[in-house]
């Protein structure tokens, strides 16, 4: 609906890739609906994935012994995080929906996107024990993981060699997003695009556009171990 804000966090090196096309389709389709769409193109931004003391501006809370979690938490409260983090946190803060678009690397996100999670979702901003899971600080937001795989759908079935694709989503959907209070929409998975015809890849883009048309009517998945493991 008009006025909704969407953040697309995108990790692919090549704009002509299927991931690049999926990102473009999302920008077009959501903009057409009147949403305002922001893209964090991590490779183009040369986003720093490493969590280091450079993320804290000014003096450390405890210069004797560096503890990244404590230091970023304290820096967040003081307004002393580095600019690139403040920028990303602003985008997250404003977003009603976050779409993560990436190719699956080794059963997970590419390092640059994992680094975005490591650095942006600071304690005090995204979670603050006991405010996590359903009471995480980013509640009232939605997230959707849209990704491509190398392996086929059969390989990622329950009885398949790679195991159910849902198992892989437990750490990223549950352990990161749900932990921060974000509600998660069903993932959008394009299986093995490199091994299918051009025609099939076009169908993948059409299916994504179709889903985006009705996205705001979708119910989030049931945020419990059952969804992943039963």
Confidence check: pLDDT of 167 > 90:
yes
Confidence class for position 74, pLDDT limits 50, 70, 90: very high
Would you say residue 230 has pLDDT above 90? no
Q: What is the mean pLDDT of the chain?
A: 97
Q: Model pTM?
A: 0.97
Question: Among residues of the chain, what percentage have pLDDT more than 90?
Answer: 98
The CA distance from 38 to 35, in Å, is 10
pLDDT at 1 over 80: no
pLDDT (0 to 100) of residue 193 = 96
Residue 20 belongs to what H/E stretch?
helix 18-32
Residues with Cβ within 8 Å of residue 125, at least 6 apart in sequence: 76, 89, 137
Cα-Cα-Cα-Cα torsion 206, 149, 187, 230, nearest 10 degrees, comes to 130
Residue 190 DSSP symbol: E
* Dist. CA 22–CA 32, nearest whole Å: 15
Quote the pLDDT of residue 142. Answer: 98
Q: What is the pLDDT of residue 2?
A: 81
Q: Which domains does the chain have, with CATH numbers?
A: 5-229 (3.40.50.360)
């Amino acid at each position: 609906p008009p006025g909704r804000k969407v953040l697309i966090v995108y990790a692919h090196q090549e704009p002509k890739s299927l991931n690049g096309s999926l990102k473009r389709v999302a920008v077009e389709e959501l903009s057409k609906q009147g949403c305002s769409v922001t893209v964090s193109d991590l490779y183009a931004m040369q986003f720093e994935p490493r969590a280091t003391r450079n993320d804290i501006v000014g003096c450390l809370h405890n210069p004797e012994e560096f503890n990244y979690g404590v230091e970023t938490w304290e820096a967040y409260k003081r307004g002393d995080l580095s600019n690139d983090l403040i920028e990303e946190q602003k985008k997250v803060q404003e977003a009603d929906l976050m779409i993560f678009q990436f190719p699956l690397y080794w059963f997970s996100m590419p390092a640059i996107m994992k680094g975005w999670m490591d650095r942006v979702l600071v304690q005090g901003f995204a979670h603050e024990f006991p405010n996590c899971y359903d009471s995480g600080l980013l509640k009232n937001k939605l997230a959707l993981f849209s990704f491509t795989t190398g392996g086929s759908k059969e390989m990622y079935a329950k009885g398949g060699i790679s195991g159910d694709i849902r198992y892989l989503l437990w750490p990223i959907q549950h352990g990161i997003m749900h932990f921060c209070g974000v509600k998660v929409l069903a993932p959008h998975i394009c299986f093995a695009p490199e091994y299918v015809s051009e025609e099939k890849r076009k169908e993948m883009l059409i299916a994504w556009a179709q889903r985006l048309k009705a996205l705001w009517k979708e119910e989030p998945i049931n945020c419990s171990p059952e969804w992943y493991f039963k």
